[in-house]
Structure 1
Amino acid sequence: MEREDPFAFVRDQLRRQRALRNMSQDEFGKRANYSGSTVSAVETGTRLIDLPYAKRADEILDTGGLFESLLRSAQDDGEPTWFKPYLEAERNGRQLRFFEPMLIPGLLQTENYARAVLRMDDVRPESEVEQRVSARLERQEILRRERPPQVIAVIDESALRRRDAIMGEQLAYLLRMAELPHVHLNIVPLTAGLHIGLSGPLMLVMLADGTWVGHLDHQLGGSPVAAEEGVATLLARWEGVRGIALPEDQSIALIKEIESQHGPQ
């Protein structure tokens, strides 16, 4: 059974609210600084609705934040059920810790990298890929808010050395993100050999009250980790991989070295 498009209701409401104000697509687009063809594409679903578009629609149609709220709800609906508990914790977290042995962490991915990762599941419909890409990019907005969480990401060097064409862009973006004062990167060098982190990726969130929530990805999806014993194990393993990672300045230098091998971006 094909999954219902979670953005269909948002598009319907956009069309309805615009029509109630006797506003054509061209007129709406002119006010919103979009072309009429872009407005048409959004309303027919051939172009995804993003947060800037939703906010402009709220301003022009005077809907009091309706479309921003609907869009965020639709993006949550577009995420797998197993990932929603972690997303809620991430939005409210004070500190985020990641370890990735094979990929760039989702919170630090470019649009093209995220799309390529999601397309690795070759039976996933393209519409779902695009919904998930949009949701992942919107998820990254927490890094740009007034009070962002501290992010400490430990990444295995092998994840940086993929030879895909998109990696030059991704590495350049990773370096720009590392310039943010609240984003810290540590790379586990290939010379570290075998280590406990190679068992798989992990994510940890420290909440405002000091408690921790964990998450594990696997081939069938992912699993939240809230039990005290499980969280303690993840914290210990994260400290283990950070302990063998390069210091931050050496990590940045290594990323720059690998990025330079891809030529100018």
Structure 2
Amino acid sequence: MLLRQLREERGMRVNDVDAQLDWSSGKISRMERNEWKLPSVRDMEDLARLYEVDESIREALIALARQARTRGWWVQHKDVLRGSLPDWESGASMIRTYEGMLVPGLLQSPDYAAAILRSGRVLGDDEIRRKVDLRMERQKILDHEEAPRLWAIIDESALRKRIGGEKVIRGQIEHLLTMAERSNIDLSVIYDHSGAHPALGDTFVILDYPDPEDLPLVYIETATEDLIVEDPEAIQYYVQMFGHTYNAGASPDESVSYLESLLK
């Protein structure tokens, strides 16, 4: 494998690489054996600098990380999948999400998701259908035996906005109540009367992983691009922002009661 070849050509031992890059013992060995669960472009750039490779080898290392991330069921949806969120979600042990004016994607009903996509007025019916199918496929990670813990903050305004009409939003609220019954899902509704809160105006997902070597990351989606935040200080900022916002919202039990009241 390329990684091992580069290390051995430079006469470096596994422990040498781990020590110089301040990695835990055995990390480079797992990478060389292709046992890395979350390939990191940043790790490849660190190796490129350590090994002092030319630009073509550096690009090959970065491509190696990106290719290792491109796997799984979502590959067949690449023509309608703009970002890499399914890849990141697939191995997560905990997901914290706040999506501002909408119900988070992992908790959307099919009709609600279709209504959101249809509102853009730029997608055809077939593309909308495939995008909805993709979103429903993503949600299956919550059904797995080792499903991630999901913490979702939902703005009250998202629940009162009749996206798709009364029947669609009612079905969405019923879906949220069903999902809230699961032991691995906690919902917090943040009320309008709470006023301003730390996450106001933001939309982001924080993903944590079971392997200590796989650092948390933040995924941010905009109308035209996606951003992966891997800087530890920036991630800590989002973790604190989520925590303060979650504490400003209703408890999971209170949130369920509020959802039930909307149906009445």
Is 2:241 aligned against 1:237? yes
CA 1:201–1:127 in structure 2 vs 1: closer, same or farther (change >3 Å)? same
The residue correspondences of 1:15-94 to structure 2 (distance < 5 A) are: 72-80=74-82, 83-84=83-84, 86-94=85-93
Provide the C-alpha distance between the structure 2 equivalents of 1:179 and 1:144, rounded to a whole number of angstroms. Answer: 13
Match of residue 217, structure 1, among 192, 210, 221? 221
Q: How much has 1:208 moved relative to structure 2?
A: 1.5
> For this pair of structures, how many residues does the alignment match?
189
Provide the C-alpha distance between the structure 2 equivalents of 1:259 and 1:227, rounded to a whole number of angstroms. Answer: 42
CA 1:237–1:70 in structure 2 vs 1: closer, same or farther (change >3 Å)? closer
- TM-score, scaled relative to structure 2: 0.68
Match of residue 254, structure 1, among 229, 243, 258? 258
The runs of 5 or more residues in structure 2 that have no matched partner are: 1-70
DSSP 3-state at the match of 1:118: helix
1:189-248 CA-to-partner distances (Å, cap 9, x unmatched) read 111012222122111110122421111122323312112222111111111210101111
Provide the C-alpha distance between the structure 1 equivalents of 2:221 and 2:200, rounded to a whole number of angstroms. Answer: 13
CA 1:230–1:144 in structure 2 vs 1: closer, same or farther (change >3 Å)? same
Q: Residue in 1 aligned with 2:179?
A: 177
Provide the C-alpha distance between the structure 1 equivalents of 2:99 and 2:74, rounded to a whole number of angstroms. Answer: 27
1:102-145 CA-to-partner distances (Å, cap 9, x unmatched) read 00000000100010111122112222211111100011110111
Is 2:137 aligned against 1:138? yes
Provide the C-alpha distance between the structure 2 equivalents of 1:201 and 1:186, rounded to a whole number of angstroms. Answer: 15
Q: Residue in 1 aligned with 2:155?
A: 156
- TM-score, scaled relative to structure 1: 0.67
1:154-198 CA-to-partner distances (Å, cap 9, x unmatched) read 111111111232100000000000001101101111110122221
Q: Residue in 2 aligned with 1:108?
A: 107
- Amino acid across the alignment from 1:174: L
Is 2:146 aligned against 1:147? yes
Q: Residue in 2 aligned with 1:55?
A: none
Aligned partners of 2:110 and 2:136 also within 8 Å: yes
Q: Residue in 2 aligned with 1:28?
A: none
- Amino acid across the alignment from 2:112: Y
DSSP 3-state at the match of 2:129: helix
Provide the C-alpha distance between the structure 1 equivalents of 2:221 and 2:75, rounded to a whole number of angstroms. Answer: 23
The runs of 5 or more residues in structure 1 that have no matched partner are: 1-68, 261-265
Identical aligned residues as a percent: 27
Provide the C-alpha distance between the structure 2 equivalents of 1:123 and 1:99, rounded to a whole number of angstroms. Answer: 25
CA 1:123–1:257 in structure 2 vs 1: closer, same or farther (change >3 Å)? same
1:54-98 CA-to-partner distances (Å, cap 9, x unmatched) read xxxxxxxxxxxxxxx996421244311xx21x3212100000001
Provide the C-alpha distance between the structure 2 equivalents of 1:76 and 1:177, rounded to a whole number of angstroms. Answer: 28
Q: Residue in 2 aligned with 1:34?
A: none
Provide the C-alpha distance between the structure 2 equivalents of 1:122 and 1:226, rounded to a whole number of angstroms. Answer: 34
Provide the C-alpha distance between the structure 1 equivalents of 2:158 and 2:249, rounded to a whole number of angstroms. Answer: 14
Question: Which stretches of structure 1, 4 residues or longer, exceed 4 Å deviation after superposition?
Answer: 69-72
DSSP 3-state at the match of 1:119: helix
Provide the C-alpha distance between the structure 2 equivalents of 1:140 and 1:127, rounded to a whole number of angstroms. Answer: 20
DSSP 3-state at the match of 2:111: helix
